[in-house]
Structure 1
Amino acid sequence: MTPAELQVVADRWHAFVDRFRVDGALSPMMQLKLEHSVRVSADALAIAEGEGWPDDEKQLAEAIGLLHDIARFPQFEQYQTFSDADSIDHGDLGFQTLEKENLLGELPAEIQSLILHAVQHHNKKDLPTAMAGAEEKYLRLIRDADWLDIFFVCWEVIASGKIHSQPEIMMNIDFNGPPTDVVVDQFHRGEAINYQNLNSMADRFILQLSWMHDLSYAASKRLVCDRSILDKFIDVLPVKTDSLLRCFEVTAKFLNT
Structure 2
Amino acid sequence: MYYPLAQQEFESYLNGYDRENDRIKLKIIHTYGVVKQAEELAGRMHLSAEDTDLARLIALLHDIGRFEQLKRYDSFEPGTMDHAAYGVKVLFDEGMIRRFLPDDKWDSIIYTAIAHHSDYELPEISDPQTLLHAKLIRDEDKLDNCRVKLVDSTSTFINVSEEELGTQNITQKVYETVFENKCILSADRVTQMDYWVSYIVYFFDINFKESFDIIAENDYLNRIIDRIPYSNPSTKKQMEKIRTYMQKFINSHTGNRLS
Measured against the shorter chain, the TM-score band is 0.7 to 0.9
CA shift for structure 1 position 131: 3.7
Structure 2 CA distance, aligned partners of 1:199 and 1:237? Answer: 18
CA shift for structure 1 position 151: 1.5
**Does residue 255 of structure 2 align to residue 255 of structure 1?**
no
Alignment of 1:212-223 (within 5 A): 212-223=203-214
Structure 1, unpaired ranges of 5+: none
Structure 2 CA distance, aligned partners of 1:201 and 1:81? Answer: 14
Alignment of 1:152-171 (within 5 A): 152-157=147-152, 162-164=153-155, 166=156, 169-171=157-159
Q: Which digits, 9 at most, give the CA deviation of each residue in 1:53-86, with x for residues without a partner? A: 112211211111111000111111122222121x
Alignment of 1:22-33 (within 5 A): 25-33=19-27
Match of 2:9 in 1: 12
Structure 1 residues 102 and 194, CA, compared in 2 at 3 Å: closer, same or farther? closer
Which of the numbers 97, 106, 114 marks the counterpart of 2:90? 97
* 2:12 partner letter: A
Match of 2:119 in 1: 124
* 2:120 partner letter: K
Structure 2 CA distance, aligned partners of 1:149 and 1:197? Answer: 24
Match of 2:54 in 1: 60
Whether the 8 Å CA contact 1:179–1:244 is kept in 2: the answer is no
Match of 1:50 in 2: 44
CA shift for structure 1 position 171: 4.8
Match of 1:76 in 2: 70
**Does residue 162 of structure 2 align to residue 182 of structure 1?**
no
CA shift for structure 1 position 172: 7.4
Match of 2:227 in 1: 236
* 1:154 partner letter: K
**Does residue 145 of structure 2 align to residue 150 of structure 1?**
yes
Structure 1 CA distance, aligned partners of 2:98 and 2:20? Answer: 24
Match of 1:224 in 2: 215
Whether the 8 Å CA contact 1:201–1:238 is kept in 2: the answer is no
Whether the 8 Å CA contact 2:225–2:239 is kept in 1: the answer is no
* 2:98 partner letter: L
Structure 1 residues 13 and 66, CA, compared in 2 at 3 Å: closer, same or farther? same
Whether the 8 Å CA contact 1:178–1:241 is kept in 2: the answer is no
Q: Which digits, 9 at most, give the CA deviation of each residue in 1:163-192, with x for residues without a partner? A: 24x4xx225796120222211101101234
TM-score normalised to structure 2 length: 0.86
TM-score normalised to structure 1 length: 0.87
Structure 2 CA distance, aligned partners of 1:28 and 1:101? Answer: 29
* 2:24 partner letter: M
Residue identity over aligned pairs, in percent, reads: 21
Structure 2, unpaired ranges of 5+: 253-259
